[in-house]
Structure 1
Amino acid sequence: MSDGRGIRRPSAVLRDWRSWPRRIVRAWRRSLQFRTVVITVALSAVAVLVTGTYMSISIGNDLFQSRLQQVLVESKNAASAAQTIFDSSDAGGEASTISLLSSAKSAIIASSSSRLIALYATPGQSIGETTVLSFASPELAGNGVITQQLQDAVAGDTDDQQYWQSVPLPNQTGGTDPGIVVGSPLTIPGAGQFELYIGYNLAEAEQTLVFVQQTLLLSSLALILLIGLIAGLIVRLVVKPIRTAAETSEKLAAGQLEVRIPERGQDVISTLARSFNGMADSMQSQITQLAELSQVQQRFVSDVSHELRTPLTTIRLAGDVLYDQRESFPPATGRTAELLHTQTERFELLLGDLLEISRFDAGSASLDTEPTNLVRLAEDAIEQMESLAEQAGSPLRLVAPGGYFEAEVDARRIRRIVRNLLGNAIEHGEGKPIVVSVDSDERFVALSVRDYGSGMTEEEAERVFDRFWRADPSRKRTIGGTGLGLAISLEDATLHRGALEVWSRPGAGSCFRLTLPRVQGRVGSVAAGGQSSPLPLVPGDAFGEAPAVAELRSPTGSTSMVGDDRG
């Protein structure tokens, strides 16, 4: 948020920081370019880190070994120079020895370029008054600089060798610098065995190593950044045609059949573009042909249905006359008149369904909505189908627990859906009770028709809304259906932006559920799967009887009870 002066408040900045991980995850999932650049930079950083670490260690070791060899040579030269001075002198007495030691100290400093010198008498020998010959520079006199381990090694030497050890040397700032102390045995005539220690400060070598490491670090960061920029540029050049192909595919899927991918050059991407455009041309041609054929078929069905209505009306009138006078005909002729009447009615229903299907196929079907009480509509449909249910031995029961039952629907189409569902339940209910449930919430209203007949397998349930499909083709229709009822019901539900779904199991019956939005246009389409439906698709009595069925089976219950449980 801003305070009106363009300054963002800390809370808004904090929220932005908190949203960064979510944005990064979203970019990782959606952007191929982002993932490629991140992976390239990460792998490059690992490679640079390993290489830089190896180079830093190698350079550090080389610097140390080089400096070590240098100080060993200097220390050897300094010890040799001092021993030469001692050996060439025939001075006697402590005063002469001290003067000789001063000359040796000057020679050591001149040979080793180090002023950190210590000279100790070797323990375990009788040296009389010569203990005053021992001395040490302040930097080497501290505890722990010249370790006991180094002193023991120098004192026990018999071959005039050098011994060295890495030690911390105090500096002027109160801290320590890395250093090396080299020990050598010396013999002073008339004074006995001594130990010479020379310290070398490696601060300059350490500074050189730090400078090299900083240079490597900065170079590595610059290299990683450069690799990221190069990878981003290259991936962008590669991903851009892919993104164009994806956008073109989405437009083709949306019906824009004329869009194509631009073709440039002769590389692989151009070959892909040409292949894709060729495929799009072929698809456009085939889709256009199929659309034309579909239009011709729809027009043919519509025209034939219209043209058949006139002779069908004439046949219907003539058939009604014969049907009304069938009692005066011989039995065979009377039966013929009844068959003619029945089949003419069925033919008329089939023509009506074909005309309705042709309207759906042509996209010309429309809704005439008005506020409708779905419970009252269900009661009317049950009343119309009650006689057929009695003939089949299937009592009907309406269960409406209460709620927002009014919805903006096309009452004619919804009534047709309910009649089709009831007819289907009576057809396959095997004389068992049928329960119609109505429920609603603030957004949706739902109606389900539950029968306890033979049921269907999952494969059969997937095809139940197909046109002219029958689970058992050999089974005779008992209520004169046309085979288009459920297909038209599904189209009517879809036209309302609703959903018509089915649950069925062999031996457990079936449940058809219709879910509709209460107000057209206020909410989106009902999601498949029914998360928004007020009624469950799988009934609670999936493998048993509902309480409403138990009431129908009770001795006091009516065999054709139509009830309303709204209380």
Structure 2
Amino acid sequence: MQGARGWRGWPRRLVGVWRRSLQFRTIVITVVLSTLAMAVTGTYMSISIGNDLFQSRLNQVLVESKNAATAAQTIFDSADASGEASTLSLLSSAKSAIIASSSSRLIALYATPGQTSSSTTVLSFASPELARAGVISPELRAAVADTPEGAQQHWQSVPLDDQQGGTDPGIIVGSPLTIPGAGAFELYIGYNLAEAEQTLLFVQQTLWLGGLALIILIGLVAWLIVRLVVEPIRVAAETSEKLAAGQLEVRIPERGDDVISTLARSFNGMADSMQSQITQLADLSQVQQRFVSDVSHELRTPLTTIRLAGDVLYDQRESFPPATGRTAELLHTQTERFEVLLSDLLEISRFDAGSASLDTEPTNLVRLAEDAVEGMESLAEQAGSPLRLVAPGGYFEAEVDGRRIRRIVRNLLGNAIEHGEGKPIVVSVDSDERSVALSVRDYGSGMSEEEAERVFDRFWRADPSRKRTIGGTGLGLAISLEDATLHGGALEVWSRPGAGSCFRLTLPRIQGRMIGEPPLPLEPADAFGEVPAVAELRPHTPVASSTGSTPAQGGDDD
């Protein structure tokens, strides 16, 4: 069975080699076209040589047959046979002359039909090879019988018996004769073409063997030439792949002054320039990241002092005049926002530096979503947007960093509250054996396709003139995307103007595995319809943490 499966897999492997290897394609095409050309040329040459051999032998046979018939007729005309015995003697002499002139012992002499002479039967004879029925056809006899003496000869291709019991190709030539005192006769001489056939077979074998050797030679030459041409291209392709993978020091060897060497020098020059630019950009990026990190760290100390002083003023704001109390409130609010901004900047700098890491543990995403919903309920109530949680059931535990996923959910909920325009917000959680997904659906103003493509950019806002109602630094969605990517998952958005938005987070249940098809659709079922009757959803209730339990469906009505 393994051998059969391996045999069936050959076509697929050949197709794979054909698609991947330029050298293999070039050699196969060269050999196939050369084979077709050799086949056509060999067939034409074989047919031409066969026709020439046959025509040459036919001309020779016709000349020999004519000479033989003339010699026999001369013997008959020069003798005066007065009896049957003397006629038989002349016939014997004529037969010897025919054999000497035609170099063939296949002779037949038949009286022309319609004669009444008694000697016609006695004088008629035929060699065994020609006596077989059907060798001398009635059509040939009729043509010879109607031909006057000395006129054109008639011939016919026939199979002749050989000594091994088979047949050889042959030619029979018929000529009219007149025997004095006996009447009109027909002389037939057979010629075996076995030697010509053997010559043709030898020529054909030579042609095919020579063609096969030539095809092999063409294949070897094509392989050598293609290797000389393709090898530098292959080296260039491998070098470009290494460059794309980050090995900026690799270069193409430069040999000679031909076009390949020119390509190598140009490629190496481009690689040097690219390496220099990338190195400069990397250095600038490191400087920028270090600057952001250092500034963020250095700002923490004065920020802590300002925060403590602001808290003292904020706690005593009621004892201040109204204007001073309002100032204390603004100072407290902006200090908190500044602290959040510093934390986000530090987190972004960790992602940019590649130092972010995961602290994973089995986490129930429904529980996590419930905690996030409860933490954002007060803000949602202030915005007039009721929060609802929908968990239809499935395997909800996954190996994730709970802190980072909780931050993603809070950012998505905050964004939905900010742009939900007081309409319901639905949080859905579902999973399968490979992945778990969470979506946050709002029914606000939505975004265009161009805006949705930039929604994860840092500090980007769809409407810069729009006032933030719940604060925010403009880095929340960018950090969320980095957190999802760090988990090996995906954070995607669907949005349409006037239909709201839907953010979907998809995570692998086990770290390092592919997420597969997300359990939740990105485009909601009510994408272009009316807002669903979310009020009919039951309030969410505690969910059992064991895998495979039936989660609750609903949300908060507080």
Q: Which residue does 2:476 correspond to in 1? A: 485
1:270-298: per-residue Cα shift (whole Å, max 9, x none)?
11111111111111100000000001111
**Cα distance between partner residues in 1 of 2:355 and 2:73:** 118
Structure 1 residues 400-457: Cα deviation after superposition (integer angstroms, max 9, x where no partner): 2223222222211111000001111112222222111112223322211122222223
> Which residue does 1:292 correspond to in 2?
283
How many positions carry a matched residue from both structures? 544
Question: How far 1:169 sits from its partner (Å)?
Answer: 1.0
Deviation per CA, 1:55-112: give whole Å up to 9, x if none.
Answer: 1111111111111111111001000000101111121233322221111111101100
Q: Secondary structure at the match of 1:293?
A: helix
What displacement does 1:486 show? 0.5
1:426 matched to 2:417: yes
- In structure 2, the partner of 1:258 is 249
SS at match of 2:422: coil
2:461 to 470, 475, 480: 470
In terms of mean alpha carbon deviation, does 332-341 or 27-36 score higher?
A: 332-341
Change (3 A) 1:507 1:134: farther
Q: Where do 1:312-327 residues align within 5 Å?
A: 312-327=303-318
Q: Distance in 2 between matches of 1:341 and 1:435?
A: 32
- Pair 1:61-2:51 in alignment: yes
Aligned to 1:157: 147
1:533 aligns with 2:508: no
1:76 to 66, 87, 90: 66
Paired AA for residue 20 in structure 2: R
- Alignment equivalent of 2:337, drawn from 341, 346, 357: 346
Contact 1:94 1:130 survives alignment (8 Å)? no
Which residue of structure 1 aligns with residue 133 of structure 2? 143
Mapped pair 1:446 → 2:428: no
Of 527, 533, 538, the match for 1:542: 527
Letter in 1 for 2:120: T
| Counterpart position of 2:217 | 226
The answer as to 2:485 corresponding to 1:503 is: no
Distance 1:458 1:84 in 2: 110
Aligned 8 A contact 1:165 1:182 in 2: yes
Cα distance in 1 for residues equivalent to 2:496 and 2:160:
89
Residue 388 (structure 2) aligned to one of 369, 372, 397: 397
- Alpha-carbon shift at residue 152 of structure 1 (Å): 1.7
- For 1:475 and 1:485, the matched residues in 2 are separated by 17
Q: Partner of 1:470: helix, strand, or coil?
A: coil
Q: Which residue of 2 aligns with 1:416?
A: 407
Q: State how far apart, in whole Å, the 2-side matches of 1:339 and 1:79 are.
A: 137
Q: CA RMSD in A?
A: 2.0
SS, match of residue 256 in structure 2: coil
1:303 to 294, 309, 319: 294
How far apart are residue 211 of structure 1 and its match?
Answer: 1.1
Give the aligned partner of residue 259 of structure 2: 268
How big is the shift at 1:122? 1.5
TM-score by length of 1: 0.91
Matched, 1:103 2:116: no
Q: Could you give the per-residue CA deviations for residues 294-317 of structure 1, whole angstroms, max 9, x where no partner exists?
A: 011111111222222233333333
Confirm whether residue 566 of structure 1 aligns to residue 551 of structure 2. yes
Q: What's 1:4 paired with?
A: none
Q: What is the SS of the residue equivalent to 2:172?
A: strand
SS in 2 for 1:438: strand
How far apart, in 1, do the equivalents of 2:123 and 2:49 lie?
Answer: 41
Is 1:43 the counterpart of 2:33? The answer is yes
Stretch of structure 1 that moved more, 94-103 or 64-73: 94-103
Structure 2 gap segments, 5+ residues each:
544-549, 553-558
Q: Where in structure 2 are the equivalents of 1:23-38 lying within 5 Å?
A: 23-38=13-28
Secondary structure of the residue aligned to 2:9 is: helix
Deviation at 1:12, TM superposition (A): 4.3
- Quick one: distance in 1 between partners of 2:118 and 2:98? 25
Give 1:330 shift. Answer: 4.7
How far did residue 458 of structure 1 move?
2.5
2:535 aligned to which of 553, 564, 567: 553
Query: Structure 1, unaligned stretches of length 5 or more?
Result: 1-10
The whole-number CA distance in structure 2 between the counterparts of 1:408 and 1:129 is 119
Aligned match of 1:241: 232
CA distance in 2, matches of 1:129, 1:135: 12
Between stretches 428-437 and 270-279, larger displacement belongs to 428-437
User: Bigger shift: 43-52 or 465-474?
Assistant: 465-474
Post-superposition CA distance 1:167-189 (Å, at most 9, x none) = 11122222211000111111112
Find the aligned partners of 1:124 and 1:102 in 2 and give their Cα distance: 24
The TM-score, its normalising length taken from structure 2, stands at 0.93
Query: 1:465 is paired with a residue of what secondary structure?
Result: coil
2-structure distance, mates of 1:508, 1:118: 107
Is 1:131 aligned to residue 121 of structure 2? yes
Q: 2:112 aligns with which of 112, 122, 131?
A: 122
Pair 1:91 & 2:81 matched: yes
Residue type matched to 1:503 in 2?
A: W
Please identify, of 295-304 and 78-87, the stretch whose mean Cα deviation from structure 2 is larger: 295-304
Residue type of the alignment partner of 1:46: L
Is the contact between residue 396 and residue 562 of structure 1 (CA under 8 Å) also seen in structure 2? Answer: no
- Secondary structure, counterpart of 2:393 in structure 1: coil
1:149 to partner: Cα distance: 1.8
CA distance in 2, matches of 1:146, 1:233: 60
